Protein backbone atom coordinates (compact mmCIF):
# COMPACT_ATOMS: atom_id res chain seq x y z
CA UNK A 1 0.00 0.00 0.00
CA UNK A 2 2.99 2.31 0.37
CA UNK A 3 3.13 2.96 -3.38
CA UNK A 4 -0.61 3.75 -3.40
CA UNK A 5 -0.24 6.14 -0.49
CA UNK A 6 2.66 7.83 -2.26
CA UNK A 7 0.58 8.22 -5.44
CA UNK A 8 -2.32 9.69 -3.47
CA UNK A 9 0.03 12.18 -1.80
CA UNK A 10 1.49 13.09 -5.21
CA UNK A 11 -1.88 13.79 -6.81
CA UNK A 12 -3.49 15.56 -3.85
CA UNK A 13 -0.55 17.30 -2.24
CA UNK A 14 -1.50 15.79 1.13
CA UNK A 15 -0.60 12.59 2.90
CA UNK A 16 -3.31 9.98 3.44
CA UNK A 17 -3.72 9.28 7.14
CA UNK A 18 -5.63 6.05 6.61
CA UNK A 19 -7.33 3.93 3.95
CA UNK A 20 -10.52 2.13 4.96
CA UNK A 21 -11.96 -0.65 2.72
CA UNK A 22 -15.42 0.07 1.27
CA UNK A 23 -18.11 -2.21 -0.14
CA UNK A 24 -18.16 -2.96 -3.86
CA UNK A 25 -15.12 -3.28 -6.00
CA UNK A 26 -15.83 -6.11 -8.48
CA UNK A 27 -13.39 -4.48 -10.91
CA UNK A 28 -11.15 -2.67 -8.41
CA UNK A 29 -10.47 -2.47 -4.69
CA UNK A 30 -12.28 0.53 -3.17
CA UNK A 31 -11.11 2.56 -0.18
CA UNK A 32 -12.15 5.64 1.71
CA UNK A 33 -9.11 7.87 2.00
CA UNK A 34 -8.80 10.19 4.98
CA UNK A 35 -6.33 12.94 4.10
CA UNK A 36 -4.45 15.13 6.54
CA UNK A 37 -6.58 18.21 7.10
CA UNK A 38 -9.81 16.21 7.27
CA UNK A 39 -10.82 15.87 3.60
CA UNK A 40 -12.07 12.46 2.44
CA UNK A 41 -11.70 10.89 -0.99
CA UNK A 42 -12.57 7.56 -2.56
CA UNK A 43 -9.76 5.58 -4.15
CA UNK A 44 -10.24 2.76 -6.63
CA UNK A 45 -7.12 0.65 -7.04
CA UNK A 46 -6.57 -1.88 -9.81
CA UNK A 47 -4.05 -3.17 -12.32
CA UNK A 48 -3.18 -2.06 -15.82
CA UNK A 49 -6.08 -2.42 -18.27
CA UNK A 50 -8.72 -2.12 -15.54
CA UNK A 51 -10.62 0.70 -17.25
CA UNK A 52 -10.31 3.10 -14.31
CA UNK A 53 -8.97 5.83 -16.61
CA UNK A 54 -12.05 5.40 -18.80
CA UNK A 55 -14.32 5.53 -15.74
CA UNK A 56 -12.67 8.82 -14.86
CA UNK A 57 -13.34 10.18 -18.37
CA UNK A 58 -17.00 9.14 -18.17
CA UNK A 59 -17.45 10.86 -14.81
CA UNK A 60 -15.77 14.01 -16.08
CA UNK A 61 -17.98 13.98 -19.19
CA UNK A 62 -21.11 13.81 -17.05
CA UNK A 63 -19.90 16.66 -14.79
CA UNK A 64 -19.01 18.85 -17.78
CA UNK A 65 -22.02 18.12 -20.01
CA UNK A 66 -24.86 17.51 -17.56
CA UNK A 67 -26.26 18.42 -14.15
CA UNK A 68 -26.27 14.79 -13.00
CA UNK A 69 -24.62 14.60 -9.57
CA UNK A 70 -21.53 12.40 -9.84
CA UNK A 71 -18.28 12.34 -7.87
CA UNK A 72 -15.61 14.83 -8.87
CA UNK A 73 -12.53 13.17 -10.34
CA UNK A 74 -9.27 14.22 -8.71
CA UNK A 75 -7.04 11.87 -10.68
CA UNK A 76 -7.60 8.95 -13.06
CA UNK A 77 -5.33 6.36 -14.59
CA UNK A 78 -5.77 2.61 -14.96
CA UNK A 79 -4.12 1.88 -11.62
CA UNK A 80 -5.67 4.61 -9.47
CA UNK A 81 -8.93 6.57 -9.61
CA UNK A 82 -9.34 9.29 -6.97
CA UNK A 83 -12.78 10.84 -6.51
CA UNK A 84 -14.59 13.06 -4.06
CA UNK A 85 -16.23 11.20 -1.19
CA UNK A 86 -20.04 11.39 -1.15
CA UNK A 87 -21.78 11.13 2.20
CA UNK A 88 -24.73 8.73 2.15
CA UNK A 89 -27.63 7.94 4.43
CA UNK A 90 -30.88 6.05 4.05
CA UNK A 91 -32.37 4.01 1.24
CA UNK A 92 -34.33 4.73 -1.93
CA UNK A 93 -37.55 6.35 -0.73
CA UNK A 94 -40.38 8.07 -2.61
CA UNK A 95 -38.62 11.42 -2.38
CA UNK A 96 -35.39 9.85 -3.68
CA UNK A 97 -37.28 8.34 -6.63
CA UNK A 98 -38.86 11.68 -7.47
CA UNK A 99 -35.50 13.45 -7.27
CA UNK A 100 -33.93 10.74 -9.46
CA UNK A 101 -36.73 11.20 -12.01
CA UNK A 102 -36.05 14.93 -12.24
CA UNK A 103 -32.32 14.39 -12.65
CA UNK A 104 -32.59 11.62 -15.23
CA UNK A 105 -35.24 13.44 -17.24
CA UNK A 106 -32.83 16.36 -17.40
CA UNK A 107 -29.95 14.07 -18.41
CA UNK A 108 -32.04 12.45 -21.14
CA UNK A 109 -32.71 15.88 -22.60
CA UNK A 110 -29.05 16.04 -23.71
CA UNK A 111 -28.95 14.85 -27.31
CA UNK A 112 -26.47 13.99 -30.03
CA UNK A 113 -26.58 13.55 -33.83
CA UNK A 114 -26.13 9.76 -33.55
CA UNK A 115 -26.45 6.86 -31.16
CA UNK A 116 -23.31 5.51 -29.50
CA UNK A 117 -20.46 7.61 -28.15
CA UNK A 118 -17.09 9.12 -29.01
CA UNK A 119 -15.34 6.01 -27.68
CA UNK A 120 -16.15 2.54 -26.39
CA UNK A 121 -17.13 2.54 -22.73
CA UNK A 122 -17.47 -0.10 -20.03
CA UNK A 123 -20.32 -1.76 -18.18
CA UNK A 124 -19.46 -3.93 -15.20
CA UNK A 125 -15.87 -3.93 -16.43
CA UNK A 126 -16.94 -5.30 -19.84
CA UNK A 127 -16.16 -3.63 -23.16
CA UNK A 128 -19.18 -1.70 -24.50
CA UNK A 129 -18.81 -0.73 -28.19
CA UNK A 130 -20.31 2.59 -29.25
CA UNK A 131 -19.75 3.23 -32.97
CA UNK A 132 -21.80 6.28 -34.10
CA UNK A 133 -24.99 4.88 -35.63
CA UNK A 134 -27.95 6.72 -37.14
CA UNK A 135 -30.49 3.92 -36.53
CA UNK A 136 -31.28 3.04 -32.92
CA UNK A 137 -32.64 -0.38 -33.94
CA UNK A 138 -29.40 -1.20 -35.76
CA UNK A 139 -27.33 -0.02 -32.81
CA UNK A 140 -29.34 -1.97 -30.24
CA UNK A 141 -29.35 -5.09 -32.44
CA UNK A 142 -25.64 -5.15 -33.33
CA UNK A 143 -23.81 -3.33 -30.51
CA UNK A 144 -25.91 -4.52 -27.62
CA UNK A 145 -27.84 -7.78 -28.22
CA UNK A 146 -25.63 -9.55 -30.77
CA UNK A 147 -22.39 -8.25 -29.34
CA UNK A 148 -23.01 -9.18 -25.71
CA UNK A 149 -24.57 -12.54 -26.61
CA UNK A 150 -21.44 -13.31 -28.60
CA UNK A 151 -19.24 -12.32 -25.67
CA UNK A 152 -21.24 -14.53 -23.32
CA UNK A 153 -20.96 -17.51 -25.69
CA UNK A 154 -17.23 -16.99 -26.18
CA UNK A 155 -16.74 -16.88 -22.40
CA UNK A 156 -18.58 -20.19 -22.06
CA UNK A 157 -21.40 -18.63 -20.06
CA UNK A 158 -24.20 -18.96 -22.67
CA UNK A 159 -25.02 -21.97 -24.90
CA UNK A 160 -24.14 -21.31 -28.54
CA UNK A 161 -27.71 -22.15 -29.61
CA UNK A 162 -28.81 -18.83 -28.12
CA UNK A 163 -27.02 -16.91 -30.90
CA UNK A 164 -29.52 -18.10 -33.50
CA UNK A 165 -32.41 -17.22 -31.23
CA UNK A 166 -31.01 -13.74 -30.65
CA UNK A 167 -30.68 -13.34 -34.44
CA UNK A 168 -34.28 -14.48 -34.88
CA UNK A 169 -35.48 -11.86 -32.41
CA UNK A 170 -33.18 -9.21 -33.90
CA UNK A 171 -34.76 -9.69 -37.33
CA UNK A 172 -38.15 -8.70 -35.88
CA UNK A 173 -37.18 -5.73 -33.71
CA UNK A 174 -39.10 -3.34 -35.95
CA UNK A 175 -42.32 -4.91 -34.64
CA UNK A 176 -41.70 -3.37 -31.21
CA UNK A 177 -38.94 -0.77 -31.46
CA UNK A 178 -39.50 2.44 -33.41
CA UNK A 179 -37.02 5.14 -34.43
CA UNK A 180 -38.97 7.93 -32.75
CA UNK A 181 -36.57 8.68 -29.91
CA UNK A 182 -33.66 11.06 -30.57
CA UNK A 183 -30.29 9.97 -29.13
CA UNK A 184 -30.24 10.81 -25.41
CA UNK A 185 -27.33 10.73 -22.99
CA UNK A 186 -27.82 7.98 -20.41
CA UNK A 187 -25.96 6.91 -17.28
CA UNK A 188 -26.13 3.35 -18.59
CA UNK A 189 -25.95 1.24 -15.41
CA UNK A 190 -29.00 2.24 -13.42
CA UNK A 191 -29.37 -0.13 -10.50
CA UNK A 192 -29.56 0.66 -6.79
CA UNK A 193 -25.91 -0.15 -6.12
CA UNK A 194 -25.00 2.86 -8.25
CA UNK A 195 -27.47 5.22 -6.56
CA UNK A 196 -26.16 7.05 -3.49
CA UNK A 197 -28.75 8.79 -1.32
CA UNK A 198 -28.61 11.35 1.46
CA UNK A 199 -31.46 12.93 3.43
CA UNK A 200 -34.18 11.77 1.04
CA UNK A 201 -32.41 12.92 -2.13
CA UNK A 202 -29.83 11.71 -4.61
CA UNK A 203 -26.29 12.22 -3.34
CA UNK A 204 -24.64 10.93 -6.51
CA UNK A 205 -24.84 8.38 -9.29
CA UNK A 206 -21.67 6.31 -9.59
CA UNK A 207 -20.10 3.75 -11.96
CA UNK A 208 -21.48 5.14 -15.25
CA UNK A 209 -21.57 3.26 -18.56
CA UNK A 210 -22.51 6.24 -20.70
CA UNK A 211 -23.56 6.49 -24.34
CA UNK A 212 -26.34 8.08 -26.40
CA UNK A 213 -29.38 5.80 -26.61
CA UNK A 214 -33.14 5.58 -26.58
CA UNK A 215 -33.59 6.74 -22.96
CA UNK A 216 -36.15 4.00 -22.44
CA UNK A 217 -33.30 1.51 -22.15
CA UNK A 218 -32.24 3.35 -18.99
CA UNK A 219 -35.80 3.35 -17.67
CA UNK A 220 -36.13 -0.37 -18.37
CA UNK A 221 -32.89 -1.16 -16.53
CA UNK A 222 -34.16 0.75 -13.48
CA UNK A 223 -36.99 -1.79 -13.19
CA UNK A 224 -34.91 -4.95 -13.68
CA UNK A 225 -33.83 -5.13 -10.04
CA UNK A 226 -36.67 -2.92 -8.73
CA UNK A 227 -34.45 0.13 -8.29
CA UNK A 228 -37.26 2.57 -9.11
CA UNK A 229 -41.01 2.15 -9.17
CA UNK A 230 -44.28 4.08 -9.47
CA UNK A 231 -43.14 7.37 -7.83
CA UNK A 232 -40.20 7.57 -10.22
CA UNK A 233 -42.21 6.86 -13.36
CA UNK A 234 -45.03 9.21 -12.44
CA UNK A 235 -42.55 12.06 -11.90
CA UNK A 236 -40.48 11.19 -14.96
CA UNK A 237 -43.45 10.91 -17.33
CA UNK A 238 -44.64 14.37 -16.31
CA UNK A 239 -41.38 15.69 -17.75
CA UNK A 240 -40.79 13.21 -20.58
CA UNK A 241 -43.90 11.17 -21.46
CA UNK A 242 -43.24 7.52 -22.23
CA UNK A 243 -44.10 6.34 -25.72
CA UNK A 244 -46.81 3.76 -26.22
CA UNK A 245 -45.51 0.21 -26.03
CA UNK A 246 -42.84 0.68 -23.36
CA UNK A 247 -44.58 -1.29 -20.63
CA UNK A 248 -46.13 -3.77 -23.06
CA UNK A 249 -42.96 -4.82 -24.91
CA UNK A 250 -39.90 -2.56 -25.05
CA UNK A 251 -39.13 -2.74 -21.33
CA UNK A 252 -38.53 -6.49 -21.56
CA UNK A 253 -36.68 -6.23 -24.86
CA UNK A 254 -34.35 -3.53 -23.57
CA UNK A 255 -33.65 -5.51 -20.40
CA UNK A 256 -32.25 -8.30 -22.54
CA UNK A 257 -29.04 -6.28 -22.73
CA UNK A 258 -28.32 -6.03 -18.97
CA UNK A 259 -29.44 -9.65 -18.62
CA UNK A 260 -26.85 -10.67 -21.22
CA UNK A 261 -24.28 -8.60 -19.36
CA UNK A 262 -25.10 -10.53 -16.20
CA UNK A 263 -24.95 -13.83 -18.08
CA UNK A 264 -21.49 -12.89 -19.37
CA UNK A 265 -20.38 -11.99 -15.83
CA UNK A 266 -22.18 -14.58 -13.73
CA UNK A 267 -24.01 -17.15 -15.91
CA UNK A 268 -26.34 -19.20 -13.74
CA UNK A 269 -29.94 -18.14 -13.23
CA UNK A 270 -29.63 -15.19 -15.59
CA UNK A 271 -29.68 -17.62 -18.52
CA UNK A 272 -33.20 -18.59 -17.50
CA UNK A 273 -34.26 -14.93 -17.55
CA UNK A 274 -32.88 -14.55 -21.08
CA UNK A 275 -34.71 -17.74 -22.06
CA UNK A 276 -38.01 -16.40 -20.74
CA UNK A 277 -37.68 -13.17 -22.72
CA UNK A 278 -36.81 -14.99 -25.95
CA UNK A 279 -39.84 -17.27 -25.52
CA UNK A 280 -42.04 -14.25 -24.77
CA UNK A 281 -41.09 -12.71 -28.14
CA UNK A 282 -41.29 -15.91 -30.19
CA UNK A 283 -37.61 -16.76 -30.37
What is the SS3 string spanning the chain?
Answer: CHHHHHHHHHHHCCCEEEEEECCCCCCCEEEEEEECCCCEEEEEECCCCCCHHHHHHHHHHHHHHCCCCCCCEEEECCCEEEEECCCCCCCCCHHHHHHHHHHHHHHHCCECCCEECCCCEEECCEEECCCCECCHHHHHHHHHHHHHHHHHHHCCCCCCHHHHHHHHHHCCHHHCCCCCCCCEEECCCCCHHHEEEECCEEEEECCCCCEEECCHHHHHHHHHCCCCCHHHHHHHHHHCCCCCCHHHHHHHHHCHHHHHHHHHHHCCCHHHHHHHHHHHCCC
**Torsion over CA of 107, 108, 113 and 119, rounded to 10 degrees?**
60
Q: Which residues contact 130 (CB under 8 A, 6 or more apart)?
A: 116, 117, 118, 119, 120, 121, 143, 211
189: annotated active-site residue: yes
- Among residues 142, 167, 189, 192, the one annotated as catalytic is 189
Measured between alpha carbons, how far is 261 from 35 in angstroms, rounded to an integer?
37
Name the residues annotated as catalytic.
Answer: 189
Amino acid sequence: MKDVEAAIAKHTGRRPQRLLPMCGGSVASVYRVDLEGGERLVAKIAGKGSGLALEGRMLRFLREKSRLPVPEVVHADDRLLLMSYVETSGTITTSVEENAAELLADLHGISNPSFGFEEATLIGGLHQPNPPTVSWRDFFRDQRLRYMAGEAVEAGQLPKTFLGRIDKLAARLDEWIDEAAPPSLIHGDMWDGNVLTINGRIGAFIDPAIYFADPEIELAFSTLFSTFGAPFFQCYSERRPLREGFWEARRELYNLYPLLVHVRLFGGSYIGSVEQTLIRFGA
